[in-house]
Amino acid sequence: MDLLQLKDKNIVVMGVANERSIAWGVAKKLLEVGANVIFTYRKERSKGKIEKVLADYTEYNTDVVQCDVNSDESIANAFNEIGEKYGVIHGLVHSVAFANAEDLHNRFVETTRDGYAFAQDTSAYSLVAVAKAARPYMSEGASIVTMTYLGAERVLDGYNVMGVAKAALEASTRYLAYDLGAEGIRVNAISAGAIRTLAAKGVPSFNTILHQIEEKSPLKRNVTSDEVANMTMVMLSNLSSGVTGEIIYVDSGYNIMG
């Protein structure tokens, strides 16, 4: 029995930088169940990387569209292009975040106005902006899933301005869920455990965080991007039809520990 029922559904996946990206873990599973996956990328260089990871997926239904979440024009162009081509968007995976390196390395108190605003714009407001652009095409109801991290609610050394951006992202998830719920659009966030990706390289304390999870989490190990992708599939599918506005932890249970 096909419990997920994502076959032939049009799902936008934002944030594949390479084969280690959390978004790629999700995209692979979506392709395997027969969804049409529309990838978005920020720069030409990332487009090449997506095309490279898709080399083994020529038989599948994929598309690649440019979308820089710092630009309203780029977002509008991307979703108009997707909307005109596909008519309906059934799901959206927002797996995008960025902060200036110095704002992760310096003391938090040294965060600049520009650095703070840039992290918020890229990592939190972008969810609102893409929900707004995708909404006209979400006429059959839809599921939006974003990626967050425990640093939104706890202080994690070196996560700094990104923790503040994730707090805003989680609040935005709840407000969007409320605002869009009557239209049948669900909005949830997955709070993923630490996974070695390009973005994680920017967090100076990343190795320490990995060790702490191994030591202290109930499962005594780190999670894989496969496990995050599995939960994302559930959140995109009708299996989670009664769930919206939630932060779902896929972190070996680390968040419950004192």
Binding residues for NAD(+) are 15, 21-22, 68-69, 96, 166, 195-199
Cβ distance to ligand NAD smaller for residue 15 or 158: 15
Look at residues 182, 147, 188 and name the one whose alpha carbon lies nearest to residue 166. Answer: 147
**Does 149 qualify as catalytic in the annotation?**
yes
Residue 17 within binding range of ligand NAD, rule CB under 6 A: yes
Residues at the binding site for substrate are 99
Rounded (10°) angle between helices 160-180 and 113-120: 40
Query: Is-contact 28 1, C-beta < 8 A?
Result: no
Residue 222 within binding range of ligand NAD, rule CB under 6 A: no
Annotated catalytic residue, options 41, 137, 159, 249: 159
Looking up tokens 């008519």 gives 87
Q: Distance (Å, rounded) from C-alpha 174 to C-alpha 53?
A: 33
For 101, the enclosing helix (H) or strand (E) is helix 101-105
Cβ distance to ligand NAD smaller for residue 23 or 177: 23
**Does 249 qualify as catalytic in the annotation?**
no
Cβ distance to ligand NAD smaller for residue 7 or 52: 52
Residue 69 within binding range of ligand NAD, rule CB under 6 A: yes
In the list 133, 144, 195, 213, the residue contacting ligand NAD (rule: CB under 6 A) is: 195
Q: Distance (Å, rounded) from C-alpha 116 to C-alpha 201?
A: 19
Query: Is-contact 185 227, C-beta < 8 A?
Result: no
In the list 37, 194, 234, 247, the residue contacting ligand NAD (rule: CB under 6 A) is: 194
Residues designated as active site: 149, 159
